[in-house]
Structure 1
Amino acid sequence: MTDMDQLIKILNHKGNMVVSGRDLYDFLGIKTPYTQWMERMISYEFEENVDFAVINKNVKDESAFGNVRKITDHALTLDMAKEIAMIQRTHKGKQARQYFIQVQKAYQQQARLPKTPDEKIHLLLENSDQVNRQVKQIDTRVTKLEDDQPIAPGEYSYIGTRVKHAVNEYVSAHHLVLNNKQRSKLYQDINRGVAEVTGIKTRTQLRKKDFDVADEFITNWVPSTATLQIIKQLSGVSEGQTELV
């Protein structure tokens, strides 16, 4: 606040930030004598000992008796100083008002800073918790982005090979002799199952998060009863004549 303090000096009066009425008067460049001007400002319903305090003080004046002259000054609250500045309706008045607003904001920010060791520790822990939450949120987003990435070409080929082996193993284990149309029903069955457990429409939509789910399904896959029934029908085998499973 050092730069702002050079505009109009901010004083401490009984623990409160105040402005000298005469300093404000000088900054605003008022031509009316100070006492008359201040009386008029106070008439805008400002209250003594609430909005301002009267201060009598001695100032050096070589033309006065004893080189000292008594003058009256006023300690103005920042709120009163802001209103007085606004009343002037001048560039200087606007400048002073903006200055007082900045001073108050800076003071409020300073007041919020921790002062005691306990307050500092509390703030440190609070900030640490906030950072941890932000890191977790970032980790979650990164993980989601990674999981939503398409599987690599090598992984896609692996799934395709696993599907082919699963179908061939089933055919071999059950000693089946199938034509291409019947075999295609097994491929349709296993691919449909992969799509259902991973929530996709076609195998080309597989994402990294789907890889393990798809791999496990293929390992445990067996054709559905409906698929086996269709294969029987395609072979012309009557129900009960030949068991495919």
Structure 2
Amino acid sequence: MQDINVISHSMLVDRDEQGNAFTTSLVIADGTGVQHKNVLEMVKSNIGDFEEFGGVAFQTRPFETAGGVQERKVALLNREQATLLMTYMRNNDVVRGFKKRLVRAFSEMEKRLSAPALSGPELVARALIEAQNMLEEKDQQIKELAPRAGAWETFCGSSGDMSVADAAKALNSRRGVDTGRDRLFKKMQELGWTTHCHGYWEPMQYAVERGYLAVKVNMPQWKPNGESFVPAPTVRVTPKGLDRLAESLPTLRVGGADSEQ
């Protein structure tokens, strides 16, 4: 069992076997909405800069995909290295918000690691305080998510996801943002979630793996001459993806009309 003195804040930051606080390139990719391969490339391309603040360790970790379990390389970064990496990223509301959460997480972890070890009644009391804090945090999260879920649930299909057009309507109803299907597709392309190929939109594997997008496979159809064809898969937005898009709404405030086909 992990010691109560070293549990990280929201698991953004952990500790290694030597008791040093660290985060990973995967955590930073997930928090900023940047593809992990791009984050890892930033580290590798500037490895000399990062190693001025200590050696950079890399781990190979398994992860599940639709095609089975695969492996990927992940960089382990200390506070200074993580801060340097964030300075290399383009600033937007999502990145700035994550920077603040990461700084707080490092500070909290370092406080826990520097605190004297507790035992007996003191350890029990600390555990009770931590448990109460966790319950209060969960209660607050539920209060924040409940109105959002109530406003968006009518847009969700039976599987919990929705069309991109319905996702745009949901975002409009929650934030009053002037956006539509086409601009939402372009925004998802900027985030690295989709790509436009052969006249239609396709989801990137990264976005599907992270649970931001889902794919609906369409049934075969027939042309007037009797030939059959299979339409391109339909991109759909999950509740998790809708939350992430909502965080990026300031960048969507543009005028103009979109088609909602």
TM over 0.5: no
Return the TM-score normalized by structure 2: 0.35
Q: 1 or 2, which has the higher helix percentage?
A: 1
- In our comparison, the structure showing a higher alpha carbon Rg is 1
Q: Which has the higher relative contact order, 1 or 2, with Cα contacts under 8 A spaced 6 or more apart? A: 2
Return the TM-score normalized by structure 1: 0.37
Q: 1 or 2, which has the higher strand percentage?
A: 2
